[in-house]
Amino acid sequence: MLQTHQQFVEIRVFEGIAERTGNTVDRDTVRGSKAVCQSVSELTRKVRTRGDGYFYLASDAWPENTTSIDLTAKWTPMS
């Protein structure tokens, strides 16, 4: 559930690589947008469905000390 004063960071995804743009917006700015994500896993699902573009991720969901995330990394089987 969204909090009243929740902040979102703007994420740019290009060729499956997600990077922060440095912009932060509040909940009222992105209300009703289909590009809002509450977690990195939700961001990954939306990128696979919608493709590259700009998304808004809850500010506490972005991993600390991380500049970019590869959202299209393939799983490597163990056996």
Per run of 10 residues, the mean pLDDT along the chain (length 79 residues) is 75 95 92 92 92 94 91 77
What pLDDT is recorded for position 57?
95
**Token pair listed for 72:** 């299209």
**Does 77 fall in a domain?**
no
What pLDDT is recorded for position 13?
96
**Does 75 fall in a domain?**
no
What pLDDT is recorded for position 14?
95
Domain with 41, as residue range(s), is 7-64
**Token pair listed for 16:** 């499956």
**Does 28 fall in a domain?**
yes
Check if the beta carbon of residue 21 is closer than 8 Å to that of residue 10. yes
Check if the beta carbon of residue 63 is closer than 8 Å to that of residue 19. no
**Does 74 fall in a domain?**
no
What pLDDT is recorded for position 54?
96
Q: Cβ contacts of residue 4 below 8 Å, gap of 6+? A: 27
What torsion do the CA atoms of 13, 19, 24, 29 make, to the nearest 10 degrees? Answer: 10
- Report the residue count for the chain: 79
Domain count, the chain: 1
